Amino acid sequence: MRREITLRLGRTVHLPIGLRFAALIATLLILLVATSLAALQLGSTPVSTADIVRWLLSLETADAETAPIMDLRWPRIVAALLGGAMVAASGYLLQVVARNGLADPGLLGISQGSMAAIVIGAAVFGLAPSALVWLGLAGGFATALLVTTLAYRLSSATGLILIGLAVGIVLSAAIEIVMVQGGILQFARWLAWSHGSLTAVSATNAGMVTLWAAVLLPVCLIASGQAMPLLLGHEQAAGIGASPKKLSLLLTLLAAMLVAPVVASVGPISFLGLIAAHVARRLVGESPGEVMPVTMLIGALILISADTAGRTLFLPVIVPAGILISIAGVLTFLIAARLSRSHR
Amino acid sequence: MTSHEKKGEPVLALKDLSFGYGGSAVLESVSLDFRPGEFVAIVGPNGCGKSTLLKVIAGLLTPDQGSVLLGDRPVGSFSRKTLALHMAMLAQTNEAPDGMLVADLVGMGRYAHEGWLSRGTAQDRAHIETAMQTMEIADLAGRRIGELSGGQLQRCRMAMTLAQDARVLLLDEPTNHLDLKYQYALLDIARRQAMAGRSVIAVLHDLTLASLYADRIVLMSDGRVVADGAPADVLTPAHISAVYGIGTVAMPFGRAIVHLPESALE
């Protein structure tokens, strides 16, 4: 049997934790801290480690040059870390619900549903960003329900992806129709956003994402501990005492909630959920309680790496993180599709 | 052995049950009682409604008419989790992903006993361990189910169902994918579960196996119960001919009854 320790808190908490899993989490956390520090340092104006440490400790001596650069960088780093974790978590939840390793909020049209609602809310009704998140949530959830219900009738793995892509394309077209109605400046901003870019992330955006993440990520971790029965199929899940339909609906809602604030502030990051969950499942297996936290950390790592690479590697050109991830995502998609075929 | 005796009050009672999928009737006025300590085999030709009957009993399908009573309460009035403490069901097909660990699969049997933040307690572990030993899969705990043979996987799934520790066991074609040795082993375990006081209801295809292990056989045809009783009373050439449409010669062999087709004996 595997080696494990047990987390005990009074009578209500009793959670066995595998040592291998714990070691993996620790490794990923160390990687995340290192990458975040590098992301703070790197850029068109590099900052020394000593200055960053001083700024982090917010000593009085933090010099006037460092502070403004840091104020530009920390919001996008926070948004990348938490946004990455949220999109990845959303993707994994969808994979569990759809019992399909190819599910992803971008590929199933959920991000586009969120975007469409946000674009229409902003352009047509002129709503404030804080209200747009809720609109994005409604749009994403409605799309998620539509796509999963249609696919449920087809009950095939590729059917889900096809329906998701089709719905996504229709929604993208709707988004573009609204986008071209505005001026050229507005269009340029929206174009960057629609590809998933962290360039325009403000401290307010970062704060909003943090608020949602603080609520949703813990909920997600607890819910994933209850999600394993869904992997057995609805009939067997009910047989062991789960309520598969209720659970699926709850997790789909959660998946849409995770995506909405990220879409509102960063744009859709397609393929991130697919890659992160795929890598996580390769590393820890299929137990959702373990896959979920690993997926979150890998999602955060991928988004912050892609954003930092996009804004430093090809200077003076800045490549949106979403585009870099899409390139990596297509490769993962092909590998995942191949693997899932050979396994079924 | 006294397993033929009817023991105690019925744990499960089906009263005038009817069910149909969108108009066409699959079950028609089925009434049956199941008692603790009884191993009941449900047999019949393909499409006679035996798997549907199991799903209605498990509360997965809601009957159009009639009721399923667990004790004195309708099955539909329980929450899924509470119901699973009393009744375990082994579905016909496996849908779990290849990457799932055997230990996790078997551990799923304890789902109904767990809380949102409480898993793997000493009691859970004890039940999982016993179930794995019973099904002879203790050495497979760390393996992924994609690496197993069909028979090994089926034994792991049965271990999951045993780990649930319910007093009613519903088994939908549990001998699927098993070779001869483990078909016998599984049915022997099912019978021992019944002897320990549980109520075991299994959909089976093989009449000989059913007669060999079950205390009672329910023979179904076209959604109705044709015969219900001790194997010797149910598996008669007249019944077989009426339900399966073939002439057979019955050969009693110990407690088993082997039916051979007349056409092959000529």
Q: Taking CB atoms and an 8 Å cutoff, what residues of chain B touch A242?
A: 80-81, 111
The residue assigned the tokens 């994403």 is A140
| In-domain check, residue B125 | no
Cα separation, B120 vs A218, in Å, equals 21
Q: What is the pLDDT of residue B68?
A: 94
Handedness of CA B157, B159, B162, B163 (dihedral sign): negative
Is it true that domain A4-343 has CATH number 1.10.3470.10?
A: yes
Q: Is the predicted ipTM greater than 0.90, yes or no?
A: no
Residues spanned by the domain of B67: 12-96+166-265
Return the C-alpha torsion angle A307, A312, A318, A319, nearest 10.
-40
Q: What is the pLDDT of residue A11?
A: 66
The model carries a pTM of 0.85
| In-domain check, residue B142 | no
Could you report the per-residue pLDDT of B126-169, keeping only the tens digit for each?
A: 999 999 999 999 999 889 999 998 889 999 999 999 999 999 99
| In-domain check, residue B181 | yes
Least confident range from A129-133, A176-180, B11-15, B33-37: namely A129-133
| In-domain check, residue B6 | no
Q: Taking CB atoms and an 8 Å cutoff, what residues of chain A touch B109?
A: 240
| In-domain check, residue B180 | yes
Cα separation, B108 vs A5, in Å, equals 19
Q: What is the pLDDT of residue B3?
A: 43
| Entry field: residues in chain A | 344
How confident is residue B4, by pLDDT bands cut at 50, 70 and 90?
very low
Cα separation, B186 vs B163, in Å, equals 15
**B20, pLDDT greater than 50:** yes
Q: What is the pLDDT of residue A45?
A: 75
Can you give the residue ranges of every domain in chain A? Answer: 4-343
| In-domain check, residue B54 | yes
Q: Looking at the partner chain, which of A228, A241, A287 has a beta carbon nearest the beta carbon of B112? A: A241
Cα separation, B54 vs B69, in Å, equals 14
Per the prediction, chain B carries an average pLDDT of: 89
- What residues 41-70 of chain B have any CB closer than 8 A to a CB of chain A? 55, 58-60
Cα separation, A100 vs A150, in Å, equals 15
With CB atoms and an 8 Å threshold, state whether B104 touches A286: yes
Report the chain B residue with the minimal C-alpha distance to residue A284: B99
To the nearest whole Å, the CA of B46 is away from the closest chain A CA by 20
To the nearest whole Å, the CA of A261 is away from the closest chain B CA by 27
pLDDT in tens, chain A (344 residues): 457 777 776 666 777 777 888 889 999 999 999 999 888 888 777 777 777 777 777 755 556 677 777 777 888 899 999 999 999 999 999 899 888 788 888 888 888 998 899 888 887 787 777 778 788 888 888 898 888 778 766 656 567 778 888 999 999 888 888 878 777 777 777 777 777 777 777 888 888 889 999 999 999 999 998 899 999 988 899 999 998 888 888 888 898 889 888 888 888 888 899 889 988 988 888 889 899 999 999 999 999 988 888 888 877 877 888 888 888 778 777 776 676 554 43
Report the chain B residue with the minimal C-alpha distance to residue A247: B80
Could you write out the three-class secondary structure of B25-62?
A: EEEEEEEEEECCCCEEEEECCCCCCHHHHHHHHCCCCC
- Look up the CATH number of the domain holding residue B249: 3.40.50.300
To the nearest whole Å, the CA of A8 is away from the closest chain B CA by 9
Question: Total domain count for chain B?
Answer: 1
Q: Taking CB atoms and an 8 Å cutoff, what residues of chain A touch B165?
A: none
With CB atoms and an 8 Å threshold, state whether B112 touches A226: no
